[in-house]
Amino acid sequence: MPPETRRSAFPKVVIERDTDSEQSSSEEEEEEEEEEEEDDDEPAVLAESESEEKVEEHKTKNKGKAPITISLKKVCKVCKKPGHEAGFKGATYIDCPMKPCFLCKMPGHTTVTCPHRVATEFGVIPAARKSTRNALEYAFERQIRPRIHPIKPAYVIPDQVNCAVIRYHSRRVTCLEFHPTNNNILLSGDKKGQLGVWDFRKVYEKVVYGNVHSCILNNMKFSPASDGTVYAASSDGTVSCTDVETGIALSLMNLNPGGWQGPSTWRMLYGMDMNAEKRAVLVADNFGYLYLVDTRSNNRTGNPILIHKKGSKVVGLHCNPVQPDLLLSCGNDHFDNRLCIWDSIFGNMDLPSREIVHSHDFNRYLTPFRAEWDPKDSSESLTVIGRYISENYNGAALHPIDFIDISTGQLVAEIMDPNITTISPVNKLHPRDDVLASGSSRSLFIWRPKEKSEPVEQIDVGKILVCDRDEKKSRKRKFGGESDDSDDDKSIPKGKGFKSQKKSQGSGQMGVGRILVCDRDEKKSRKRKFGDENDDSDDDKPISKGKWYKSQKK
DNA sequence: AAAGCATGATTCC
DNA sequence: TGGAATCCCTGCTT
User: For A174-194, what is the HEC assignment?
Assistant: EEEEECCCCCCEEEEEECCCC
SS3 for A548?
helix
Residues of A 89-118 whose CB lies less than 7 Å from any atom of strand B: none
Closest C1' nucleotide to A526's CA:
B6
The Cβ of residue A243 has, within 10 Å, a number of other Cβ atoms equal to 14
Per-residue flag: A428 CB under 7 A of strand B: no
- Cα–Cα distance, A485 to A261 (Å, whole number): 30
Closest C1' nucleotide to A364's CA:
B8
- Do strands A515-518 and A464-467 pair parallel, antiparallel, or not at all (unpaired)? parallel
pLDDT in tens, A339-359: 999 999 888 999 898 888 898
Closest C1' nucleotide to A363's CA:
C7
Instruction: Give the residue among A139, A58, A157 at the shortest CA–CA distance from A413.
Output: A157
pLDDT in tens, A145-186: 444 444 566 889 999 887 656 777 888 999 999 999 999 999
Strand C positions closer than 7 A to protein CB? 7-14
CA closest to C8 C1', residue:
A78
Q: pTM of the predicted model, to two decimals?
A: 0.74
Kindly give the parts of chain A with pLDDT less than 70: 1-73, 118-153, 163-165, 203-204, 452-554
- Cα–Cα distance, A118 to A124 (Å, whole number): 5
Going by C-beta distance under 8 Å and a sequence separation of 6 or more, which residues neighbour residue A86?
A76, A77, A78, A79, A94, A95, A96, A97
Closest C1' nucleotide to A192's CA:
B6
Backbone angles phi, psi at A45, to 5 degrees: -80, -40
In angstroms, the CA of A270 and the C1' of C2 are apart by 27
Cβ atoms of A282 and A271 within 8 Å: the answer is yes
Query: What's the pLDDT score for residue A547?
Result: 19
List residue ranges whose Cβ is under 7 angstroms from nucleic strand C.
A 78, 87-88, 93, 95, 102-103, 111, 167, 363-366, 388-390, 397, 399, 421-423, 440-443, 468, 497, 499, 522-523
- Cα–Cα distance, A134 to A151 (Å, whole number): 20
The β-bridge partners of A189 are: A175, A195
